[in-house]
Amino acid sequence: MTIQATLSVSSLMLFFLMPAVDAQTDTTILSPDAVVQLALAHSPDLKGRNEELRSATARRHQADAGLMPQLDTRAQALHFEGLENGSLGPGVTFPVISEQYSASIGITQPLYTGGRVTQQRRSAQYGEDAARHSLSAAAADLELQVITAYWQWSKALTQIEAFQVAVARMEAQNTDTRNLKNAGMATDNDLLATEVLLDQTQLQFQEARQQADISRIQLTQLTGHDFTSRHVPQKPAIPVLAPLPSLAEAVTHALTNREDLAGLCLNSKASAALVEASCAEHRPQLALIARYEQGSPNPRDFPPDDKWRDDAFIGGAITWNLFDGGLTRARTAEAKARAARDTFQVQSLGEAVVAQIKVAYLNRQYLSSRLKTATHAEASATRNLKVATDLWKNGAARHSDVLDAETKLTTTIAQRIAAEADLLIAEATLHHAMGDSLAGQ
């Protein structure tokens, strides 16, 4: 997943990914992938994590520079007052040189650092890789949030359509009951029961509208785009789902492919490398030094004279931290504690991933069975309402039987729609838990 490229795509270009406007309904049908791309392009969190990756890359470059030669130049001009001529004895006088100038260029090449620079480079590389995995993990989490809100929105809008049909059906039933009551063929209780069921159906309709508005607000926050009534999601039609792997295979796959787990493992390795880098402060360090300089007077000439003279030298320098008041020891203790903390975080996330897989796996199985049951129940409820209505019109059934059949049909339709959307969410949740891409979900 190339997040940097995704973040740079503008919202305008992303809308070209969407299906064409439906000419009959004047609505734009949004695909899940199009909404996900809008969210990836908008997300301030992903942009911040992308900057964290850039920062980690800069730290790696800093660490790499530790083994490179360091080139420096120096220049100075000095004017002295109050100096007196010096002498070594009778007849030997050193005149005062009140104007002194010097310039030099030098190079320092580390030869041995006790492993300090090597471990710092290794830690920085692990840190950069961890930041990259963290960015991908955040993008995967955002995708799941968008997919979930998208199908919740779709579920609510589809249920709204079903409840509109149910309300129309109940209004017709209410009109028929009122006419029958006026004709003396129905009781006040029959009419009252019909009106109660109509009110209950309208209440379900209002609840579905509320959920649709909430889901749309969530998507607006995630994408930065204000969706209007012209924008509608796809209906939750279930595609042919791939067979589930075994639970053990799903767990193994997740532990291998989860970006967040990989990022924490790399952070743990980075912390361990910093422990080694801190320990290296106790070891001696050796560097090669070369310098060329000119001075007037040249301080290395004796006796000095007021002329420009040059010199050059090459040599080595060794430094060894023999005592620093316990500073290195304390830094090492801090690094070890951070490394231990990161190890425990890896263990904790690993256990959480296993639990997530088990829950998502069982939920996916359950919802698949629930959809089959809900679909069968809807078909049965449809037939039941037709039979009850025919019997009631022929005087062979009670009015309450028709109302009960109406309730069951409305309920089973809503349950079937919910099962379809929830199964799509469960499928996306399982893929996310396994560390797979949600593209096309």
Say if 2 falls within a structural domain. no
Within 13 Å of residue 55, how many CA atoms lie on the same side as its CB?
A: 9
Cβ contact 246:361 at 8 Å: no
Six token digits for residue 168: 């129309």
Cβ contact 403:194 at 8 Å: yes
Q: Which residues, given as ranges, of the chain have pLDDT below 50?
A: 1-23
pLDDT given for residue 245 in this prediction: 87
pLDDT given for residue 89 in this prediction: 64
Task: Express each pLDDT in 24-66 by its tens digit.
Answer: 557 889 999 999 999 999 999 999 999 999 999 999 999 999 8
Within 13 Å of residue 335, how many CA atoms lie on the same side as its CB?
A: 22
pTM for the structure as a whole? 0.83
Q: Render the burial of 5-17: b for 16+ CB within 10 Å, e for the rest.
A: ebbeeeeeebeee
Q: Domain containing 313 — which CATH number?
A: 1.20.1600.10
Q: How far apart are CA 259 and CA 132, in angstroms?
A: 9
- In 236-308, beta strands by DSSP E: 285-296
pLDDT given for residue 440 in this prediction: 55
pLDDT given for residue 17 in this prediction: 42
Residue 258 CB neighbours (<10 A) = 27
Say if 13 falls within a structural domain. no
Say if 22 falls within a structural domain. no
pLDDT given for residue 441 in this prediction: 54
Residue type for 347, please?
Q
Say if 182 falls within a structural domain. yes
Q: How far apart are CA 241 and CA 220, in angstroms?
A: 29
Count of structural domains within the chain: 1
Which residues span the domain enclosing 309? 31-78+98-434
pLDDT given for residue 155 in this prediction: 95
Q: Is 286 helix (H, G, I), strand (E, B) or coil?
A: strand
Say if 6 falls within a structural domain. no
CA angle 214, 220, 221 (to 5 degrees): 95
Say if 1 falls within a structural domain. no
Q: State how far Cα 204 lies from the chain centre.
A: 35
pLDDT given for residue 193 in this prediction: 87
Q: Is 315 helix (H, G, I), strand (E, B) or coil?
A: strand
Residue with tokens 């300089």: 293
Say if 89 falls within a structural domain. no
pLDDT given for residue 15 in this prediction: 39
Say if 291 falls within a structural domain. yes
